[in-house]
Structure 1
Amino acid sequence: MTSETGDAPPRSSNSQTRKAAASGWVGSALEYYDWFVYAQAAALIFPTVFFPAGNATVALVSSLGTYAVGYVARPIGALVFGHWGDRHGRKHVLVLAMLLMGFSTFAVALLPTYHQVGVWAPVLLVLLRFVQGFAVSGELSGASAMIAEHAPFGKRGFYVSFSLHGTQAGQVIAAAVFLPLSAVLSDEAFNSWGWRIPFLLSAVVVFAGYLIRRKVEETRTFLERTEEPSRPPVAEVLRNSGADVLRAICMTMVNVIGVVVSVFGAAYATQSGYGIGMDKSIYLWIPVVANLVALPFIPWFGALSDRFGRRPMMITGALGSGLLSIAYLWAVSQGAVLLTIVLAIFTWGVFYQISNATFAAFFQELFPARTRVTGFAIAQNVGLTLTAFLPSLFTLVAPPGSANVWLVVGGLCLGITVLAAGAAWTARETHRVPLDQLGEPDAQPLPRAEFERLRAG
């Protein structure tokens, strides 16, 4: 392969780079719309629709447990999609993931309730959530690999951040779809049938996404690869990059911030057992406002990671958001609506986004091209699976009616973000390493002066 130093030609034209970034953004936004529609409903609607009445704690833990089931499926999907992406190309992974996600989300809208079919309602819900998790596991690893391998040297962080920009936009769209429904419909109508509308709209989502994804070109890095892996990608990545997989798993757990703010935070603030009694509409607005604030920051933080490195950005984002999570939960405990919204914005919409904007490029750079999708997919999805059980864990260690919920859960959240920051600190810096050498044991970063010259032109 041609080295990406000196006067070597660029890996992709500017038009290819922009096309890859745009397709990654649109695809991530559409697929994560489906994913977060479910997250909203799991905290706000499903406890009373798919589970028996009579015990608020059991219903809430069970509903949040179905949310976590999607993450159980993610490591399994990561093995399948990672293998396919590294052996057969990044493009096909993205199309298949989109189709599976759209089917499973649309099917949730058609499910009967617990009152109609009893225990079959949560069983079917769990099965469809499993398919969702399997499908979404291939999205970010494939999309960010596509973008990273098309991006010009020295600007990978900026361009790859658009895949995360898309995931945050998907959250905005998911919450925004719920807002007019909750405002126009009565509580009875919304809980009865109104919540199904956002799931039905996934049919439109998957059709639009398919039209976009099928036109994406494969990367030169994959097409020019001359050495076929001698063993399955999962075996090779665990054998040669096992320590980096472990680091990336720990770094992924900074996603506890989104869980605390939007999932456990919503249950803590709105479920009657906790006695705070915030209006549910507030927790439809918080993801919208926080992620709208995040959208302009994400590409900026990605660009800063190109300038200052991935490690300092990951550490700053993890520690800053972890500390703020304690203050956020305290504001919830006081029923201080305005302060809760402000702290949610700073915790989730600003400080967490420093890490969120950086990690996709960082993870892609930790692994060589022959195992890049697999390494990313396994690490991210195992980390997210561990994180996904935290809402149920938080509810068990700080159940409705217990004291100091904000301090117990906030302290646990901070401890997890410290773990993520420590993992980033032990990783090697990658932003000045040429694309051809990423993940190789003898890779050397370019001298800063040469790096800045290539990045500038």
Structure 2
Amino acid sequence: MSKPSDIRRVVIASFIGTTIEWYDFFLYGTAAALVFNKLFFPTLELQQGTMAAFVTYAVGFFARPVGGIVFGHFGDKIGRKAMLVTTLMLMGVATILIGLLPTYNQIGIWAPILLVTLRFVQGFGVGGEWGGAVLMAVEHGAAGKRGFYASWVQAGVPVGLLLANAVFMFVSSSMEETAFLSWGWRVPFLLGVLLLGVGMFIRLKIIESPVFTEAKKEDAGPKIPILAVLRDHPRNVLLAMGARFAENAFFYIFTVLVLSYGSQQLGMAKVSLLNAVLIGSAVQLVVIPWFGALSDRLGRRPVYLGGALFLAFFAFPFFWMVETRQPVLVVLAVVIGLIGHAAMYGPQAAFFSELFGTRVRYSGASLGYQLASPLAGGLAPLIATKLLEESSGASWPVAVYLLVMAAITLVSVWLVEETNRKAL
């Protein structure tokens, strides 16, 4: 186990780095929900343009398992730290290039093609980042506090979302819409230059995981970690995937779909919707570590199951509250939903990491986490938008879809072993 000062340094570095990477990733989601249909798909009608923007958004999720496999392999063979630096660089450069990208009116069909390519690079980077960040926190910590330490990496996600939406809202509200669509939308992406510099400075200063260093001294490990995981731990990979379905799908409905649904279908102001996501993200920053710490005391399974069950009951009320068009109730709906999500997300990092041995842990945790991303989170806004279109704007089919996601997660977590006291 590391010294307390080393643990704090690693947790802070992982938290800040993850915040920056998810700022990059979520910034795209906000832009896809609000402006990319006009910039990159102007020849399509509003609903079809939004669908097309969400298709490019989903590409990043399909790239995440690829990144998880590639960086998981090298993270288990070479080390955690090198992968964290590499993935941060990939994400930062891709985000900056999106900010410099010509639109459809400037270069035609090449604009959406290049957009999809850069989105793939974003997804590839973030797919490899998560495993390294959580393992650094988990493998530096003591058994009784792993959930708490690793949850701070998870807390970087709502902070990234908070920053992405705050910057987007500030820029969009400080200028006329024509100026924003002309050049203002680029500003949040180009700010990635500053964030990349900060993140690289911090991550280069952390030390390698002591658990991995010790294990590497003892043996060379499997030649191909991903094959060893699939051979020795197929059940845990599948159950980790299933555990993510509700967590991932609900999150992107609460934070991405609500922006397009509220503005296009319900006629609400974009600022009100962004405010709801901002407030919900701020609340998550507090409750994610709390749920992580709670899982150290009660166990990962009961806390995770409680979150999934709560969201299953909240699927219909969420839409009822949003459809009132009352800003206070919309904010409350998003906040309540994200608290339920945090009950799963807080314990998740330690939970998944503890399911696998040290020499295959990066590959195993990344694979279980990232394989669910395209099926749950990546497709959720797209499926929900299609369901809304087919039902002439009725939200109940989306709520039923979310109930199915919750059922998959409840069964998966019920079947997985408890890990909170497991030795690494």
Q: TM-score range by the shorter chain?
A: over 0.9
Do 2:303 and 2:343's aligned partners in 1 also have CA atoms closer than 8 Å? yes
Deviation at 1:400, TM superposition (A): 7.1
Could you list the runs of 5+ residues in structure 2 that have no partner in the other structure? none
* Corresponding letter in the other structure for 2:238: L
Q: Residue 176 of structure 1 corresponds to which residue in structure 2?
A: 166
Cα distance in structure 2, aligned partners of 1:277 and 1:223 = 55
| Residue 231 (1) aligns with residue 223 (2) | yes
Cα distance in structure 2, aligned partners of 1:247 and 1:384 = 14
Do 2:23 and 2:163's aligned partners in 1 also have CA atoms closer than 8 Å? yes
Cα distance in structure 1, aligned partners of 2:258 and 2:166 = 18
Q: Residue 409 of structure 1 corresponds to which residue in structure 2?
A: 398
Do 1:102 and 1:202's aligned partners in 2 also have CA atoms closer than 8 Å? yes
1:378 aligned to which of 364, 367, 389:
367
Deviation at 1:97, TM superposition (A): 0.2
Q: Residue 102 of structure 1 corresponds to which residue in structure 2?
A: 92
Do 2:96 and 2:193's aligned partners in 1 also have CA atoms closer than 8 Å? yes
2:409 aligned to which of 395, 420, 427:
420
Do 2:92 and 2:196's aligned partners in 1 also have CA atoms closer than 8 Å? yes
Deviation at 1:54, TM superposition (A): 4.4
Which has the greater radius of gyration? 1
Residue aligned with 2:114, SS: helix
Cα distance in structure 1, aligned partners of 2:366 and 2:143 = 23
| Residue 359 (1) aligns with residue 348 (2) | yes
Cα distance in structure 1, aligned partners of 2:403 and 2:169 = 31
Q: Residue 429 of structure 1 corresponds to which residue in structure 2?
A: 418
Do 1:137 and 1:377's aligned partners in 2 also have CA atoms closer than 8 Å? yes
Residue aligned with 2:143, SS: coil
Q: Residue 125 of structure 1 corresponds to which residue in structure 2?
A: 115
* Corresponding letter in the other structure for 1:385: P
| Residue 261 (1) aligns with residue 254 (2) | yes
Q: Residue 201 of structure 1 corresponds to which residue in structure 2?
A: 191
C-alpha offsets along residues 122-149 of structure 1, whole Å, 9 cap, x if unaligned?
1110000000000111111101101111
- The total of aligned residue pairs comes to 420
Do 1:17 and 1:147's aligned partners in 2 also have CA atoms closer than 8 Å? yes
Q: Residue 244 of structure 2 corresponds to which residue in structure 1?
A: 252
Cα distance in structure 1, aligned partners of 2:4 and 2:180 = 47
C-alpha offsets along residues 147-203 of structure 1, whole Å, 9 cap, x if unaligned?
111002211001110101111111111111112212211122122211110000001
* Corresponding letter in the other structure for 2:259: A
| Residue 40 (1) aligns with residue 30 (2) | yes
Deviation at 1:403, TM superposition (A): 4.8
Residue aligned with 1:335, SS: coil
Cα distance in structure 2, aligned partners of 1:419 and 1:304 = 23
Cα distance in structure 2, aligned partners of 1:54 and 1:99 = 34
* Corresponding letter in the other structure for 2:226: V
* Corresponding letter in the other structure for 1:286: A
Cα distance in structure 1, aligned partners of 2:260 and 2:341 = 20
Task: Please give the residue correspondences for 1:43-442 in structure 2 after superposition, counting only pairs within 5 Å.
Answer: 43-225=33-215, 226-253=218-245, 254-271=247-264, 274=265, 276-348=266-338, 350-387=339-376, 388-399=378-389, 402-404=392-394, 406-435=395-424
* Corresponding letter in the other structure for 2:203: R
Do 1:147 and 1:160's aligned partners in 2 also have CA atoms closer than 8 Å? yes
* Corresponding letter in the other structure for 1:208: V
TM-score (norm 1): 0.90
Q: Residue 448 of structure 1 corresponds to which residue in structure 2?
A: none
Do 1:315 and 1:422's aligned partners in 2 also have CA atoms closer than 8 Å? no
Q: Residue 449 of structure 1 corresponds to which residue in structure 2?
A: none
Do 2:72 and 2:366's aligned partners in 1 also have CA atoms closer than 8 Å? yes
Deviation at 1:401, TM superposition (A): 6.8
Cα distance in structure 2, aligned partners of 1:269 and 1:148 = 39
| Percent of pairs with identical residues | 38
Cα distance in structure 1, aligned partners of 2:55 and 2:313 = 26
C-alpha offsets along residues 297-352 of structure 1, whole Å, 9 cap, x if unaligned?
1111111000000001111111212322321222223323321111110111x111
Cα distance in structure 1, aligned partners of 2:183 and 2:343 = 38
Do 1:265 and 1:329's aligned partners in 2 also have CA atoms closer than 8 Å? no
Cα distance in structure 1, aligned partners of 2:314 and 2:272 = 19
Deviation at 1:288, TM superposition (A): 1.1
* Corresponding letter in the other structure for 1:90: R
Cα distance in structure 2, aligned partners of 1:301 and 1:54 = 44
* Larger deviation, residues 128-137 vs 222-231: 222-231
* Corresponding letter in the other structure for 2:345: N
Residue aligned with 1:431, SS: coil
Residue aligned with 1:351, SS: helix
Cα distance in structure 2, aligned partners of 1:28 and 1:183 = 27
* Corresponding letter in the other structure for 1:380: Y
Deviation at 1:397, TM superposition (A): 2.4
Cα distance in structure 1, aligned partners of 2:286 and 2:254 = 20
TM-score (norm 2): 0.97
Could you list the runs of 5+ residues in structure 1 that have no partner in the other structure? 1-10, 436-457
Deviation at 1:115, TM superposition (A): 1.4
Cα distance in structure 2, aligned partners of 1:333 and 1:68 = 26
Cα distance in structure 2, aligned partners of 1:391 and 1:68 = 9
| CA gap 1:230/1:54 in 2 versus in 1, 3 angstroms | closer
* Corresponding letter in the other structure for 1:256: A
Cα distance in structure 2, aligned partners of 1:267 and 1:181 = 18
* Larger deviation, residues 33-42 vs 252-261: 252-261
Cα distance in structure 1, aligned partners of 2:401 and 2:283 = 26
